Amino acid sequence: MQTTRLSTSAKALERRVRTLAMDLGWTWCPAAKRAFAALDPREWEATKHAPLTTLQRMHPARLEACATDPAVLALFDEAERAREARLGTKAWFTRRHRGADARLRVAYFCSEYALHESLPQYSGGLGVLAGDHVKSASDLGIPFVGVGLLYQHGYYIQELQGDGSTRALYPRYDSSQLPLVDTGKEILCPLGRGEVRARIWRLQVGRVPLYLLDTDLPGAPRAHRELTEGLYKGAPDLRLRQQVLLGVGGMLALDAVGERPTVVHLNEGHAAFANVERMRRLVARGASLEAARAQVARTSVFTTHTPVPAGHDRYPAALVAKHLAPLLRELGLSREAFADLGRERAGDRNEPLCMTVLGLRTSAQINGVSRLHGRVSREMWTGAYGDCTPDEVPIGSVTNGVHVRTWLAPEAEDLYARRLKVKWDAPSPTDDPWSRVDAITDEELWELRRTLRARLVHFVRARLARQAERRGAPAAEVAAAWRTFDEDALTLAFARRFATYKRAPLIFREAKRLRRLLAKPGQPVQLVFAGKAHPDDRGGQSYAQQIHEWSRAEGFEGRVALLEEYDMEVGRMLTSGADVWLNNPIRPHEASGTSGMKPPLHGGLNASILDGWWPESFDGTNGWAVGDERELADPERRDARDARALLTVLEKEIAPLFWRRDRGGLPRGWIQRMRASLRTVPPAFNTHRMVGDYVKNAYLPAHRAGQA
């Protein structure tokens, strides 16, 4: 906000805005978002819905007007009441657990957190899962604290150039405009021959504090500052040093802020060095190395997310020993002895240290993120457990979910509040308001679907027009963007990280069939894509370029769109607005996936390869399976088979069912499938259920083992 002298009422409103904004519980509170948007709708959109930046940018005269506007003040009254209700209600964990179990304290380590589009601290699914996990921990009242790194420019901003190639931008974010609290604490993290100084910031996510380490400090050497410069960028040496900071520095940070966890949850192998630091402490207090390792393992939960061997971080033993030298000295471990903790074949000096194996070897509670992924992980890591069969490998599964209110469109939330009587402020892991879906009429469900589709179409048009304007496109191209897509057409969406195994352009292998489907007279179909690949992933970047080219080809122009800069806002719009969510990874390379769990909240349906979470959900009535569970080794045969299967289900089942209307214009068969999807997907595939599973099957067992 521009510097000027404000009235008392304006200052009071400014304080109210800041208080609400500093608790990220507002990110899943519709009342708070309405209040922030009312301050200055234009700036609210321009800042990617960042309340503090909106406040900073708005003209003082606008703030003065809001401060005396009864409607705006009423919105803030409502938002504050909602916050009080959310935090003032006795939470599930407190109601359920007493005695020694109530002393549980979970420290959750992750390299990225997707909490909101205005906080660009995430790249994809791992961060989305972590953010939703933290939010459900807050809602359920789990004694929980998060640990991560504060990245100065996050991941990257994706711009699509005129030929569809990707330009990666790395803006530097102003931390003063983020809802960060400086704890006043710093740590010195041992790294190689020296120490790295890091400041500890706190984000408050409802009931959960999230502590983030920042090494971009005045006077710090470049090699230190770059540790928190960006997410997943740089050479392996930089990645390794970041992981030392996350794991070792994260444990030091918890000490500095007075946190004493009884359980440590490592979300993926990036933070596995946390367990090395925990072992060091026990050895320093007199425990033997084996006793320290056993105690750390008993109180550790490790979640692996990657079913592809190449996706796991591996480092040369010498490089790891170089950066962990102080810890290894205190542990009394040689370079090779420590490397063996992270090798599948202990004693093989040619094998690098794998962060996932280190997590496996120092944790007793281990899980994949779907049943299928649990099976794949047991097969993948048999070598790490010696002479045993996959069934004997101690890796279970906790299937992922989504935080419902983060992804639920306001129109849907209003309908469910009226018809299903959902209790948002006192949830439990087993809540199932969706079983009452028959309380909603066919007319109401279809009107919701039409409303959300129309909103998505407007969003697509605005995004395409903005992309065209940024490229300096002719006025005719910008005007064409505002006319693209049809509010009544069957709308398919594909949006996710553009890793090559997800096969974003697969549907275009059957281009002639797809062209006929999209242009069928009186029964239009349209297809929207969004996704980002890692800046160094040339294959994923190529997929984006291929889709861009198809979107401009004859028969596809105006019916196929590719949106740039896939983030949480784009994800919310697409998952809420699409009629059908497409998913066609190479089975079994999708560990879980969570994007497809969001459309059913809005009456959307899945059409997916039977991979990740979908085999656990698909029952023949709540969406469509693409192909079967057979896994072909030959890439050409596999892709050709899956593309044919996808077009067949679209031509023979999906489009005919969507366009089969009764005399009142309602697609009764389609609505019946919408009901089945809403009744079966949200109750099981949400993070309240997921976090409840972690509490029951991992956190409390680890906590009790540590107290024994």
pLDDT tops 60 at residue 1 = no
* Structure confidence at residue 199 (pLDDT): 98
Task: Tell me if residue 287 falls in helix, strand or coil.
Answer: coil
Q: What is the CATH number of the domain that holds 515?
A: 3.40.50.2000
Give the DSSP letter of residue 553.
S
The verdict on residue 474 lying in a domain is no
The verdict on residue 441 lying in a domain is no
How far apart (Å, rounded) are the C-alpha atoms in residues 215 and 198?
5
Whether residues 168 and 43 fall in one domain: no
The verdict on residue 541 lying in a domain is yes
Whether residues 165 and 308 fall in one domain: yes
* Structure confidence at residue 708 (pLDDT): 77
- What is the per-residue pLDDT across 555-590, written as a single tens digit (0 to 9) for each? 999 999 999 999 999 999 999 999 999 999 999 999
Q: Please compute the mean of the pLDDT values over residues 334-344 and round it to a whole number.
A: 95
How far apart (Å, rounded) are the C-alpha atoms in residues 574 and 655?
19
Whether residues 262 and 186 fall in one domain: yes
Whether residues 42 and 189 fall in one domain: no
Whether residues 699 and 672 fall in one domain: no
Among the ranges given (20-24, 426-430, 692-696), the one the predictor scored with the smallest mean pLDDT: 426-430
Please list, in sequence order, all residues whose beta carbon lies within 8 angstroms of the beta carbon of residue 44, skipping any fewer than 6 positions away.
36, 37, 54
**Burial classification of residue 390, based on how many CB atoms lie within 10 Å of its CB (0-12 exposed, 13-18 middle, 19 or more buried):** middle
- What is the per-residue pLDDT across 220-240, written as a single tens digit (0 to 9) for each? 999 999 999 999 988 999 999
Please give the mean pLDDT across all residues of the chain.
Answer: 96
Domain with 677, as residue range(s), is 485-685
The verdict on residue 460 lying in a domain is no
Number of domains in the chain: 3
Whether residues 621 and 523 fall in one domain: yes
Whether residues 238 and 368 fall in one domain: yes
Whether residues 263 and 276 fall in one domain: yes
* Structure confidence at residue 233 (pLDDT): 84
| Nearest of 588, 604, 335 to residue 456 by alpha carbon | 604
* Structure confidence at residue 477 (pLDDT): 94
The verdict on residue 462 lying in a domain is no
How far apart (Å, rounded) are the C-alpha atoms in residues 301 and 290?
18
- What is the per-residue pLDDT across 512-526, written as a single tens digit (0 to 9) for each? 999 999 999 999 999
Rg (CA), the chain: 25
How far apart (Å, rounded) are the C-alpha atoms in residues 623 and 615?
11
* Structure confidence at residue 176 (pLDDT): 85
- Encoded amino acid at 294, one letter: A
Whether residues 131 and 150 fall in one domain: yes
Q: Please compute the mean of the pLDDT values over residues 345-368 and round it to a whole number.
A: 96
- What is the per-residue pLDDT across 515-556, written as a single tens digit (0 to 9) for each? 999 999 999 999 999 999 999 899 999 999 999 999 999 999
Whether residues 697 and 627 fall in one domain: no
- What is the per-residue pLDDT across 254-311, written as a single tens digit (0 to 9) for each? 999 999 999 999 999 999 999 999 999 999 999 999 999 999 999 999 999 999 888 8
Which residue, chain included where needed, has tokens 């359980």?
A: 263
Q: Which contacts qualify for 212-219: CB closer than 8 Å, 24 or more apart?
A: 212/121, 212/147, 212/148, 212/149, 212/150, 212/180, 213/147, 213/148, 213/149, 213/150, 213/187, 213/245, 213/246, 213/249, 213/250, 213/253, 214/149, 214/150, 214/175, 215/245, 216/152
* Structure confidence at residue 2 (pLDDT): 54
- What is the per-residue pLDDT across 490-501, written as a single tens digit (0 to 9) for each? 999 999 999 999
Angle between helices 687-694 and 125-140 (to 10 degrees): 80
Report the predicted TM-score, pTM, of the whole model to 2 decimal places: 0.97
pLDDT tops 80 at residue 3 = no
The verdict on residue 574 lying in a domain is yes
- Is residue 22 within 8 A of residue 179, CB to CB? The reply is yes
Whether residues 52 and 150 fall in one domain: no
The verdict on residue 433 lying in a domain is no
Q: Please compute the mean of the pLDDT values over residues 610-614 and round it to a whole number.
A: 98
pLDDT band at 387 (very low <50, low <70, confident <90, very high): confident
Tell me the HSE value of 634 on the side-chain side, using a 13 A CA sphere. 4
How far apart (Å, rounded) are the C-alpha atoms in residues 108 and 106?
6
- Domain end (from 64, 88, 112): 88
SS (HEC) of 146-183: EEEECCCCCCCEEEECCCCCEEEECCCCCHHHCCCEEE
Reply yes or no: is the peptide bond before residue 615 cis, omega within 30 of 0: no
The CA distances from residue 600 to 114, 674, 692, in Å, are 21, 7, 21
Cα 500–504–508 angle (5° rounding)? 125
The verdict on residue 236 lying in a domain is yes
- Domain end (from 88, 110, 138): 88
* Structure confidence at residue 575 (pLDDT): 98
Whether residues 364 and 493 fall in one domain: no
